[in-house]
């Protein structure tokens, strides 16, 4: 496959002044007619008229009304064109029904829908399918369906047809079309300047009862973006469509967002608190793209983080405002460590702005998204809130309607603040997670912190330079009073010291508050110091982090030295759990332990080859010990975790329920599932039902409950995904592979549906000790199914290959088993470009 490089960017030789498309829908023979006005681009030197096009049957093509015969290849076509503005017309045939890749125009449960980002539009018609080519679109959809949707505002419609016009120039990746027998859940929003906007959530008949929450989330997002970023919506209508077969969460097509039904449909009976929170965040995320992504888009796909990092950052600000800011920050950091750190510290490591790719779909990663958002968080900390707001104003004013680069983005910050961001820009170009170590000194009232930073070499970059690190620090005196409030240290050197004067005694430092930079903080802090911070830190994040550090250290000692669980950690935790003034959600997070995968990485870093079975056993021992130690506390926690009011997916209620779930998990270790069974039998919402089922599965007492859950929910696709996933995810490691295998034989298993496939195999990959079973059965099963799926859906296959990305961490036997599985995938004839690239990068 061909490699594309950032450095090779050149503008397209033509500008597109207008696009007219007509769709005559038919399952295996849809006709797409295009009429496109091109004009020479004065800014381009290469004047080749190349239009992308894949899997298209070209029926006719004309220039200025005269038939032409272009040169057609599997990637597109070229044609001789006049040296002045001209009109290109073509007619192509495509087959949505047989499109299982779910890219381009495809069918899902009888409805038509599209997914064009990144390069799917070329599977719809011949076009310069690149984000820097922007144009206004007029679209006519013809078909015997009650609902016919496209981007922009409705123009006209009649029996069996509808026309849409999008007045805002956009790249082709934001094109969308939806047609089918859909019902709408309507809403309305009046913008800050008094414009009424029609809102709709479209779903399959029967799902209309699951749209209300999404609609509220949309309205909140629209309001928030006006209030916080001054961004007003810019069309008369905003449509969201729920689709069952979708490769990712959702897509921000202009005025017509298409959503995986799991990312928009919700009801208390069928959705968990976590589902609700995720839906609220994704609706916000896609809506926020209207400005950060759509009005201002990316010049090329290397700039993906320009829209994704910023939009993730904005949606996390939104969630912090709607819910609890510390809880959101802690959850984001758990997620970053769980998904981005392994990526950045393994063979798939790449900069936030990659410099080359074979298949761009492989770069919709935690690094581009989540680390990209962290980089913006750092920038905001460094310049301060006011300058951040001013820079964003300038960004919108200066670049509205343009396709931009990271250089454009950083320039607005330089212009507003007068700062030189040359070194800061390394966050976009340098891959890998920096490691930060620290030492301290105290003399004559002066306390000195000396930091050293170092980023290990990665496969894509041997040499790393020092980064700009915003390090938020607070100091506590030995009584636990804060003597220095949160202060931002700006580290730019490989080694740098910072002094704090006039301190009466040696303070205890609270470092990297709020996780102010995405680094690994290597601090040989004493256990006493962590226990102290756990009790006294005023920074909620670092208080949680102190507990996390103690838990990690204790689990590592248990694995490595056969130590017993750390009593000081358990005592500190107990004190916290008793404190009713602390948010229940926060206490629930305090009770969560580092993931098995995080522990594997931590062991690997201290030179111990991680043994997944030992890690699992250590966590079991720790949890059993917690259950016994907190035995008397559990009834109180269970009580505080109870909600007596009618179900609401609010932060407050969901925080309580998460504390209740944490207490139930410990209780189950004492009573063998008695309380869980009771909760399961009585549950009137999915959060309670599912947490109980999870405990019953972990306790091995699930036969009855699994069956009754199935019988209750067999007709609900989204709930059945949970049923599939939980049986594998919560299974005893010795059973996970067998359960996954058995579930693939269940009549409701459908590999063509990405949600269902991920439910089983995503859960298998997450069941750390189960997936890494010593005999390699987990690797083999996953490889078998990835090979099958690749022939149908390369994008989802490639993404799931990352289950193997940490293979070099493990013992020689497991390494060779994983390597063999990867090589078996790589050896498949006609493996997709997507999967080929992923497997070869992972193998290195
Ligand atoms: N922009 C889309 C992701 C498209 C993924 C293409 N493989 C969703 C989002 O980030 O909002
Ligand atoms: Zn996005």
Here the ipTM equals 0.99
Q: Is residue 480 part of a domain?
A: no
* Domain boundary pick from 181, 196, 214: 181
Atom of ligand 1 nearest to the CA of 117: 6
CA–centroid distance, 599 to ligand 1, in Å, is 30
Q: 307 CB less than 6 Å from ligand 1?
A: no
CA–centroid distance, 291 to ligand 2, in Å, is 11
Average pLDDT value for residue range 299-326: 98
**Closest Cα to atom 4, ligand 1: which residue?**
117
Domain that holds residue 797: 714-844
Q: 800 CB less than 6 Å from ligand 1?
A: no
Q: 252 CB less than 6 Å from ligand 1?
A: yes
Confidence of residue 519 (pLDDT cuts 50, 70, 90): very high
Q: Is residue 97 part of a domain?
A: yes
Q: Is residue 706 part of a domain?
A: no
* Domain boundary pick from 165, 181, 197: 181
pTM for the full model? Answer: 0.99
Q: Which ligand is nearest to the CA of 283?
A: 1
HSE value, Cβ hemisphere, 13 Å, CA-based, for 323: 29
Atom of ligand 1 nearest to the CA of 249: 8
Residue positions annotated with a catalytic role: 286
Q: What is the DSSP letter of 563?
A: P
Q: Is residue 221 part of a domain?
A: no
Q: 361 CB less than 6 Å from ligand 1?
A: yes
Q: What is the pLDDT of residues 424-482, one digit of tens each?
A: 999 999 999 999 999 999 999 999 999 999 999 998 899 999 999 999 999 999 999 99
Q: Is residue 323 part of a domain?
A: no
Q: How many domains does the chain have?
A: 2
Q: Is residue 535 part of a domain?
A: no
Confidence check: pLDDT of 372 > 70: yes
* Domain boundary pick from 152, 181, 210: 181
CATH of the domain at 114: 2.60.40.1730
Structure tokens at 631: 């035995």
Q: What is the pLDDT of residues 69-120, one digit of tens each?
A: 999 999 999 999 999 999 999 999 999 999 999 999 999 999 999 999 999 9
CA–centroid distance, 786 to ligand 1, in Å, is 22
Mutate which of 120, 123, 252, 833 to test ligand 1's pocket (most atoms within 8 Å of Cβ)? 252
The pLDDT > 90 percentage for the chain reads: 99
Confidence check: pLDDT of 523 > 90: no
Neighbours of ion ligand 2 (CB under 5 A): 308, 311
Kind of pairing, strands 147-150 and 177-180?
antiparallel
CA–centroid distance, 411 to ligand 1, in Å, is 26
Q: What is the DSSP letter of 467?
A: P
Confidence of residue 778 (pLDDT cuts 50, 70, 90): very high
CA–centroid distance, 541 to ligand 2, in Å, is 26
Confidence check: pLDDT of 524 > 80: no
Q: 102 CB less than 6 Å from ligand 1?
A: no
Q: Which ligand is nearest to the CA of 309?
A: 2
The mean predicted confidence, pLDDT, of the chain is 98
Structure tokens at 264: 């928009």
What is the SS3 assignment for 104? strand
Q: Which ligand is nearest to the CA of 282?
A: 1
CA–centroid distance, 263 to ligand 2, in Å, is 13
Q: Would you say 804 and 821 are in contact if contact means Cβ atoms under 8 Å apart? A: yes
Q: 119 CB less than 6 Å from ligand 1?
A: no
Dist. CA 656–CA 497, nearest whole Å: 43
Structure tokens at 820: 């063999």
Kind of pairing, strands 66-67 and 57-63?
antiparallel
Q: 285 CB less than 6 Å from ligand 1?
A: yes
Q: Is residue 177 part of a domain?
A: yes
Q: 251 CB less than 6 Å from ligand 1?
A: yes
**Closest Cα to atom 9, ligand 1: which residue?**
251
Q: Is residue 724 part of a domain?
A: yes
Confidence of residue 147 (pLDDT cuts 50, 70, 90): very high
Confidence of residue 791 (pLDDT cuts 50, 70, 90): very high
Query: DSSP string spanning 593-633?
Result: PPPHHHHHHHHHHTT----HHHHHHHHHHHHHHHHHHTTTT
Q: What is the b/e burial string over 629-652, where b = at least 16 CB atoms within 10 angstroms of the residue's CB? A: bbeebbeebbebbebeeebebbbe
Mutate which of 303, 308, 794, 798 to test ligand 1's pocket (most atoms within 8 Å of Cβ)? 308
CATH of the domain at 732: 1.25.50.10
In this structure, the chain runs to a length of 844
Average pLDDT value for residue range 715-744: 98
Taking each continuous run of H as one helix and of E as one strand, the counts in the chain are 29, 31
Q: What is the pLDDT of residues 242-254, one digit of tens each?
A: 999 999 999 999 9
Q: 172 CB less than 6 Å from ligand 1?
A: no
């Amino acid at each position: 496959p061909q490699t594309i490089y950032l450095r090779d960017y050149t503008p397209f030789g033509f500008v597109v002044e207008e696009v007219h498309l007509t769709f005559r829908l038919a399952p295996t023979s849809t006709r797409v007619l295009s009429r496109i006005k091109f004009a020479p681009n004065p800014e381009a030197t290469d004047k080749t008229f190349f239009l992308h096009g894949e899997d298209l049957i070209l029926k006719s093509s004309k220039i200025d009304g005269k038939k032409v015969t272009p040169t057609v290849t599997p990637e597109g076509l070229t044609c001789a064109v006049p040296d002045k503005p001209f009109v290109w017309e073509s007619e192509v045939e495509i087959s949505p029904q047989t499109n299982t890749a779910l890219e381009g125009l495809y069918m899902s449960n009888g409805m038509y829908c599209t997914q064009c980002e990144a390069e799917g539009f070329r599977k719809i018609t011949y076009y310069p399918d690149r984000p820097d080519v922007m144009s206004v679109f007029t679209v006519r959809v013809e078909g015997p369906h009650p609902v016919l949707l496209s981007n922009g505002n409705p123009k006209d419609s009649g029996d069996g047809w509808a026309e849409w016009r999008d007045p805002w120039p956009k790249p082709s990746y934001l094109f969308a079309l939806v047609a089918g027998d859909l019902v709408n859940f309507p809403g309305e929003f009046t913008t800050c300047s008094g414009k009424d906007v029609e809102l709709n959530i479209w779903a399959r008949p029967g799902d209309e009862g699951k749209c209300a929450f999404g609609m509220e989330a949309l309205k909140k997002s629209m309001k928030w973006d006006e209030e916080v970023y001054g961004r007003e919506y810019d069309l008369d209508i905003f449509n969201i469509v729920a689709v069952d077969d979708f490769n990712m969460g959702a897509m921000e097509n202009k005025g017509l967002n298409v959503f995986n039904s799991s990312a928009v449909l919700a009801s208390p009976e069928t959705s968990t608190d976590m589902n609700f929170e995720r839906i609220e965040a994704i609706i916000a995320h896609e809506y926020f793209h209207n400005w950060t992504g759509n009005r201002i888009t990316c010049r090329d796909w290397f700039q993906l983080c320009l829209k994704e990092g910023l939009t993730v950052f904005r949606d996390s600000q939104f969630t912090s405002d709607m819910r609890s800011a510390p809880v959101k920050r802690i959850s984001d950091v758990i997620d970053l460590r769980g998904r981005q750190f392994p990526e950045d510290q393994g063979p798939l490591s790449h900069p936030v702005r990659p410099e080359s790719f074979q298949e761009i779909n492989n770069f919709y990663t935690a690094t581009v998204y989540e680390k990209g958002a962290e980089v913006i968080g750092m920038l905001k900390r460094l310049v301060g809130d006011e300058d951040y707001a001013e820079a964003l104003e300038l960004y919108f004013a200066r670049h509205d309607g343009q396709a931009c680069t990271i250089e454009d983005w950083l320039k607005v910050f330089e212009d507003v603040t007068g700062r030189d961001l040359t070194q800061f820009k390394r966050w976009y170009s340098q891959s890998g997670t920096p490691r930060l170590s620290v030492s301290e000194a105290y003399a004559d009232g002066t306390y000195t912190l000396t930091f050293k930073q170092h980023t290990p070499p990665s496969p894509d970059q041997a040499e790393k330079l020092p980064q700009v690190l915003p390090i938020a620090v607070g100091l506590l005196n030995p009584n636990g009073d804060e003597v220095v409030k949160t202060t931002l240290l700006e580290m730019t050197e490989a080694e740098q010291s910072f002094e704090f004067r006039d301190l009466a005694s040696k303070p205890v430092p609270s470092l990297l508050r709020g996780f102010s930079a995405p680094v690994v903080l290597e601090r040989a802090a004493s256990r006493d110091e962590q226990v102290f911070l756990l009790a006294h830190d005023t920074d909620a994040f670092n208080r949680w982090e102190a507990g996390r550090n103690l838990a990690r250290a204790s689990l590592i000692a248990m694995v490595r030295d056969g130590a017993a669980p750390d009593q000081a950690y358990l005592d500190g935790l107990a004190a916290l759990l008793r404190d009713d003034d602390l948010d229940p959600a926060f206490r629930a997070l305090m009770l969560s332990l580092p993931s098995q995968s995080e522990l594997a990485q931590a062991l690997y870093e201290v030179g111990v080859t991680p043994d997944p079975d030992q890690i699992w056993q250590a966590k079991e021992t720790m949890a059993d010990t917690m259950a016994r130690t907190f035995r008397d506390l559990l009834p109180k926690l269970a009580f505080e975790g109870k909600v007596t009011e009618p179900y609401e997916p609010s932060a407050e209620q969901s925080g309580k329920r998460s504390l209740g779930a944490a207490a139930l998990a410990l209780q189950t270790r004492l009573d063998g599932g008695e309380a869980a069974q009771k909760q399961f039998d009585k549950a009137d919402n999915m959060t309670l039902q599912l947490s109980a089922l999870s405990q019953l599965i972990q306790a091995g007492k699930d036969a009855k409950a699994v069956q009754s859950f199935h019988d209750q929910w067999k007709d609900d696709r989204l709930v059945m995904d949970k049923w599939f996933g939980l049986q594998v995810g919560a299974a005893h490691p010795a059973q996970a592979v067998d359960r996954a295998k058995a579930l693939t034989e269940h009549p409701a298993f459908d590999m063509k549906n990405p949600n269902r496939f991920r439910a089983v195999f995503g859960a298998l990959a997450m069941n750390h000790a189960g997936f890494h079973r010593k005999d390699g059965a987990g690797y083999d099963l996953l490889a078998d199914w990835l090979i099958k799926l690749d022939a149908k859906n390369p994008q989802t296959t490639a993404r799931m290959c990352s289950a193997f990305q940490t293979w070099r961490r493990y013992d020689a036997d497991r390494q060779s088993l994983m390597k063999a599985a990867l090589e078996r995938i790589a050896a498949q004839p006609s493996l997709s470009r997507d999967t080929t690239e992923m497997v070869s990068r992972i193998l290195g």
